[in-house]
Structure 1
Amino acid sequence: METFGPGNTHEVTNQVPQLTGYNLFTSDAALVAAVEREGAGWHRAALERDGAALSSPDVLALGDLANRHTPELMTYSPRGERIDTLEFHPAWHTLLAQLRAAGVHALPFSDPQPGAMVARCAAYLLHSQIESGALCPITMTFASIPVLQREPQLFAALRDQLYTREHDPRDVPLTQKKSMMIGMGMTEKQGGSDVRSNRTHAFASLGSSGSGRGAEYRLVGHKWFFSAPQCDAHLVLARTDDHAGVSCFFVPRFTPDGNRNAVHIQRLKNKLGNRSNASSEVEFFEAYGVMVGDEGRGVPTIIEMANYTRLDCALGSTALMRAALVQAIHHTRHRSAFGRLLAEQPLMRNVLADLSLEAEAATVLVMRLARAFEDSTGTLEERAWRRLITPAAKYWICKRALEFTGEAMEVWGGNGYVEEGPMARFYREAPVNSIWEGSGNVMCLDVLRALEKEPEAAQALLTQWRDVAQHHASPASALPAALDRLLAALAASPDTREAAARRIAQQLVLIAQAVLLVQHAPPVVADAFIATRIADGCGDSGRVYGTLPATLDHAAIVERAFAG
């Protein structure tokens, strides 16, 4: 008979051990196959090393620490000097050091070779499963490189600090630093996504050598969202003339004479998620900046940066889904209810299998997009993947992550809803990628613009998809009809197309995912995906996870997703 006493009222049983000690890379069959298929097999050893290291208890704890101990703004020094500096928990800097060591900030540019973008995106998927906030300044730094490369003199001065794999957390002038990070400053109060309504002004500096590209300016105005204000420089949109449109400026944290630039941080945003990362509101009091790109061409200049950040949004949401999925599967293999492990119960297996399909479809899509980013001057099909599917994927995958993380959290029951575990953080993190770098409507309207501007590329891609569908037996038999429905939607009037833009983007992504799964996934996965997302237009319905046909092999799908 059990004896109870003070502090000993019950035995703790049927609780799930922390998921540690697994390899994030080798346990993901879809990712492993995609790395080889898309040309980054040479990077496999590094990915395996990262995949093993990232699941240690010490590394897993970093994400929790960085989000519980959020950044603090120090506006003034003890002596009353304006410093606008931020203090971070050491976990934040450890995470950034790991990301730089893995080359996530610059790999395709610092070490160009076939498959480098794919290798970098695979590493991004692994590190994003540990903590998302640290990826924000890494993404912006990465996306700024192709923009800055177009300014040879400026880039030559920054190249080594951008490319190095060493993280330097010091808040000092660039001339004293080993490495640097770059942020973005676009959004203003009155405009939001409509950056052409920006009112921040830039005035040519007195005594400087002229105006225009490469000239020095002074910026006066504000930014409502100024991402990662601790970065060593930001790319900022401002207008030089009311009629010239907005231009792009490189605004360093310190001026060339070593003084702090006049970028005053008003406050840090109190955000739902992404709490480890600082987002701020700032004002420019004649802040020093150098024009990047041609005058009045700030939006086209910054759009190139946005294309890369949108890819990273899709990557980040895919990683969140993968992280939530493995936690859910692990939980059900250790938790019993009503006399059986949860993983052995048919309805739970249905839910897990459905989540597994979603995660694999997202993975094959973002890795295919990574290959398309290898060469922007490739074939028509490659142009369509990059220009048309990127905004569609950013829209759809980021939207799906919200429902996905909620469903995975529910698998954990009440334990998933408390902050001591990872599921609540995943859930709070999910909305940001859908909002940042263009909300859902902005992305879907961009899909329509891409269809209108590059019809030949879009047609080439759709023709390629139809060829795949016609040369594969079941499950691809439903794909031609899905393509016909998409073409019918595209043939509608402009107003009708705009009203249906979300449906069109959704159809594009679902067909793209189905084609990739038919080509590269086991039939059990492709069959189930097409049966529930493509056939008879079922992807248009308001389905929830866990509604796969009972006749499918749910256990096999879950085992492929995360082997027991």
Structure 2
Amino acid sequence: MFDMNRLHPLRHFSAATTMTRGSTVHAQEIGFTDLNKQGENGKTVFARAKRGQFFQTEPHLENQYLGDAPLRAYLKRNVPKKVLEQFAPDLERFGHRCATDIHQLGRECELNPPSVQHFDAWGNRVDDLITCSAWKSMHDIAAEEGLISIAYERKYGPWSRLYQIAKLYLYIPSSGLYSCPLAMTDGAAQTIDRIDKNTGHSLLHEKAFPRLISRDPQKFWTSGQWMTERKGGSDVAGGTETVAVPQEDGTFKLYGYKWFSSATDSNMTLALARIVDENKQTTPGSKGLSMFYMETRNEDGSLNGIDIQKLKNKLGTRQLPTAELLLDGSTAHLISEPGRGVAGISNMLTITRLHNATGAVSGMRRMVNLARDYSKRRTVFGKLICEHPLHMQTLARMEVETRAALFLVMEASRLLGLEECKMATEHDKLLLRIMTPLMKLYTAKQAMTIASEGLECFGGQGYIEDTGLPAMLRDAQVLPIWEGTTNVLSMDVLRAIAKTHGKVLQTLFKEIQEKVAIASKSSNVHIQNGCQATSQSVNKLAKFLEGEATRDSSLLEVGARDFAYSLARTYMASLLLEHAVWDEATELDAITVARWCEQDLCPVVTNHSRGHYDNKSVTMDTRLVMDGYTDKPLSKL
């Protein structure tokens, strides 16, 4: 019979001695005291284990620019040599800083979240928002490093935006979520920059805009984006109840409740509200929404008709002061045409969605790089983690996802730079229009997967708050929610197609096919297979759209998410192919193509063939979800 005692970890130990590899070792030498030793009071002293000599080694954070081969390769391939030589040294310097002092400040922001003091000692309502010194330092760093100004100075022409996004990509994982107010600041700057300077908005162009893009910490402003109300979500047309009452001096007083206001400590904000007409009525729907500019504080420093009701208690992004605000007569200025507020925020959404995607891919890169470094430091089962093939396979899959996401974000940045400098073709503009929601929705989902998988790479330490690693997962969870959920953005893709009468889709397919045509000249088997998989995906999508999807408009609505995923994966495959046939490409670039194209590039066609979008399947979806739900009768289901 098998002796279970053989499995006991202390089966060879005795009170006095133990044997190890033929040598006699006293118990005291391995961390145990003599159980029979008497204490001062004559009582037996129980055994005590020493701490031992082994401690886990934390991962090392390397220079964020030098440690990112795909980023440097993309910039080298796309940016003119003379231009890259001018800003690459700054990226290298900043990459080091993001791994050192900025990283430490970001950690301090996580450990010292904001709070609100509603009343002073005498009972006066003050609503003093308290943030830590590290958060304030991030404000100064953002200005000094030009994290907003680079894109608007346009020193490097169309490459300025790409330079800025590359720098933000290095910064965001170390930023302590200060990247959030910077995203909205960039969005506000973009919105103001595109407002005609001759329309009378001198306050915007002479006061606000110069501060939003300033490199002087004393002058630099951040901006909020106050759109969401109690009804919540992306349906601002149906959910906005804030009203704007005209004043004799041409300003407006805003009254309403803003349910989410990230970066509550901002200097200004852009907000949506409904103008009250002479009959004290407002226009419902999107046609009744207008955009307003308001400063958060008055000249004397007091809040501009704003009551901070509470700070949100969130799963993640705890560093970020997100509040519920009551606007009670806040002075504001109309900056859109009346009833054109939704159109006014479109430029802002392009920027903030790009920032969201940049945050997603930068978080992925940070997690992969930390796990990579840890694999060279942690020993398990007698060898380093990096010597275990299964673990390296896992990391390789994470790396492929990260590279594909990186190229997607960088390509969108490149196109935006061209568009901002009025150098974009109609093809470029249409491509950017459909890329923006695809990029945001897909990278956000990738970021969640990589963050979760990454924590496993650290074992139990990945679950310990003191390491800072769990915060990466918590903070990643907001990415699919900010700036439109996955389903909302999937519907936005369909709207983009409808509004352009299919031109954005034709442009995307043409772009993919052109990249495949160039890559197909390669003799590399991995690239050839990648070209075949990508071409097949485009053909499947085209056939799907020309078939039942044309005859049944509801089909695409049900399959909108799978359709968006199919477009994103197929386009990302073409970007990887384009990079893999670059003159300085390596074998790893071809391998990346092969690994990416092993997945189902066209899930919308696969799931359509399985009947997932027909009426019977939709009915079954509802029945499955509602099975056992007793609140309402299910007789109609």
1:534 paired with 2:584, answer no
| Counterpart position of 1:220 | 255
Please give the alpha-carbon distance, in whole angstroms, between the structure 1 residues aligned to 2:480 and 2:170: 20
More divergent stretch after superposition (250-259 vs 391-400) = 250-259
Does 2:383 correspond to 1:320? no
Query: How do 1:423-442 residues align onto structure 2 when only pairs under 5 Å count?
Result: 423-442=469-488
Quote the residue 1:184 is aligned against.
225
Q: Distance in 2 between matches of 1:43 and 1:381?
A: 28
- Per the alignment, residue 243 of structure 2 pairs with 201
Distance 2:311 2:356 in 1: 22
Q: 1:552 maps to which residue?
A: none
Per-residue Cα deviation, 1:397-434 (whole angstroms, up to 9, x for no partner): 00111111000100100011111113211101111121
Offset at 1:258? 5.8
How many residue pairs match? The answer is 523
Instruction: Output the CA distance in 1 between the equivalents of 2:123 and 2:288.
Output: 38
Match of 1:469 in 2: 516
How far apart in 2 are the matches of 1:259 and 1:274? 27
Match for 1:13 among 54, 58, 61?
A: 54
- Once residues 536 and 490 of structure 1 are traced to their aligned partners in structure 2, the CA distance between those partners, rounded to angstroms, is 21
2:275 matched residue in structure 1? 240
Q: Residues 75-474 of structure 1 correspond to what in structure 2 (within 5 A)?
A: 75-112=118-155, 113-149=157-193, 150=195, 152=197, 153-154=202-203, 155-168=205-218, 178-197=219-238, 198-205=240-247, 207-208=248-249, 215-241=250-276, 242-243=282-283, 245-255=288-298, 259-376=302-419, 378-454=424-500, 455-473=502-520, 474=528
- Tell me which of 91, 103, 110 is aligned to 1:47: 91
What is the one-letter code of the residue matched to 1:156? E
**Per-residue Cα deviation, 1:358-416 (whole angstroms, up to 9, x for no partner):** 11111111011101111335223311331001100100000111111000100100011
Q: Partners in 2 of 1:47 and 1:289 — Cα distance?
A: 39
- Return the alpha-carbon distance in structure 2 between the equivalents of residues 540 and 391 of structure 1: 18
1:136 counterpart SS class: helix
| Distance in structure 2 (CA, Å) of the matches to 1:89 and 1:257 | 23
Deviation at 1:3, TM superposition (A): 5.8
Query: Contact 1:85 / 1:230 at 8 angstroms: preserved in 2?
Result: no
Deviations 1:255-288 (A, max 9, x none): 3576431111100001111111110101111111
2:253 aligned partner, one-letter code: R
SS of 2:519's equivalent in the other structure is coil
Name 1:38's counterpart in structure 2. 78
Tell which deviates more after alignment, 159-168 or 85-94.
159-168
Give how far 1:102 is off: 1.9
Query: Does the CA contact (< 8 Å) of 2:31 and 2:52 recur in 1?
Result: no
Contact 1:139-1:312 within 8 A present in 2 as well: yes
TM-score computed with the length of structure 2 as normaliser: 0.78
TM-fit CA distance, 1:87: 1.1
Equivalent-residue separation in structure 2 for 1:268 and 1:179 (angstroms): 24
Q: What SS does the aligned partner of 2:466 have? A: coil
Match of 1:512 among 549, 571, 584: 571
Whole-Å separation in 2 of the counterparts to 1:35 and 1:23: 17
1:488 aligns with 2:543: yes
Q: Give CA-to-partner distance per residue, 1:523-556, whole Å, 9 cap, x none.
A: 6445444444435736649xxxxxxxxxxxxxxx
TM-score (norm 1): 0.88
Deviation (angstroms), 1:193 = 1.1
Task: Indicate if the aligned counterparts of 1:380 and 1:460 stay in contact, CA closer than 8 A.
Answer: no
SS in 2 for 1:267: strand
Unaligned ranges ≥5, structure 1:
169-177, 209-214, 542-564
Q: 1:221 to 1:438 in 2, by over 3 A?
A: same
Shift of 1:233: 1.0
Question: Deviation per CA, 1:489-531, whole angstroms, max 9, x where unpaired?
Answer: 4331321111111111111111221111111144644544444
Q: Distance in 2 between matches of 1:262 and 1:17?
A: 48
Q: What amino acid sits opposite 2:414 in the alignment?
A: R
- Counterpart-to-counterpart distance in 2, 1:530 and 1:19: 29
Q: Aligned in 2, Cα 1:451/1:426: closer, same or farther, shift over 3 Å?
A: same
CA distance in 2, matches of 1:79, 1:322: 50
Contact 1:38 1:368 in 2 (8 A): no
Give the alignment's Cα RMSD to 1 decimal: 2.1
User: AA paired with 2:452?
Assistant: G
Q: Is the 8 A contact 1:65 1:91 kept in 2?
A: yes
- Cα distance in structure 2, aligned partners of 1:31 and 1:408: 20
| Deviations 1:169-191, CA, capped at 9 Å, x for gaps | xxxxxxxxx22111011001124
Task: Report the Cα distance in structure 2 between the residues aligned to 1:51 and 1:411, rounded to whole angstroms.
Answer: 24
Q: Which protein is bigger by CA-based radius of gyration? A: 2
**Higher deviation after alignment, 82-91 or 215-224:** 82-91
Match of 2:559 in 1: 500
Matched residue SS, 2:137: helix
* Counterpart Cα distance in 1 of 2:332 and 2:417: 31
The answer as to whether partners of 2:107 and 2:176 remain within 8 angstroms in 1 is no
Q: Supply the distance in 2 between the matched residues of 1:82 and 1:318 (Cα, whole angstroms).
A: 42
Whole-angstrom CA distance in 2 between matches of 1:489 and 1:88: 53
Cα displacement string for residues 36-64 of structure 1 (whole angstroms, at most 9, x for unaligned residues): 333361311110100112212x4322222
Give the Å deviation of 1:96: 2.6
Between 123-132 and 180-189, the greater mean CA deviation after superposition: 123-132
Query: Which shows bigger deviation, 105-114 or 360-369?
Result: 105-114
Q: Name the CA shift for 1:255/1:302 in 2 (closer, same or farther; >3 Å).
A: same
The DSSP-based 3-state class of the residue aligned with 2:364 is helix
C-alpha contact 2:537 2:602 (8 A) present in aligned 1: no
Residues of 1 paired with 2:224 and 2:251: CA distance?
19
Contact 1:66 1:91 in 2 (8 A): yes
Distance 1:540 1:12 in 2: 52
2:41 aligned residue:
none
SS in 2 for 1:433: coil
Q: Distance in 2 between matches of 1:285 and 1:109?
A: 34
3-state SS of 1:374 partner = helix
Relative to structure 2, which stretch is displaced further, 4-13 or 106-115? 4-13
Report the alpha carbon displacement of residue 111 of structure 1 after superposing the two structures with TM: 3.8
Query: Does structure 2 conserve the Cα–Cα contact (< 8 Å) formed by 1:247 and 1:293?
Result: yes
Alignment match, 2:18: none
- Give 1:165's aligned amino acid: R
What SS class does the counterpart of residue 407 from structure 2 fall into?
Answer: helix
Write the distance in 1 (CA, Å) between the matches of 2:599 and 2:264. Answer: 49
The residue matched to 1:238 in structure 2 has which SS? strand
Shift of 1:296: 0.8
C-alpha separation between the residues in 2 aligned to 1:259 and 1:425? 34
Q: Relative to 1, partners in 2 of residues 1:406 and 1:191: Cα closer, same or farther, differing over 3 Å? A: closer
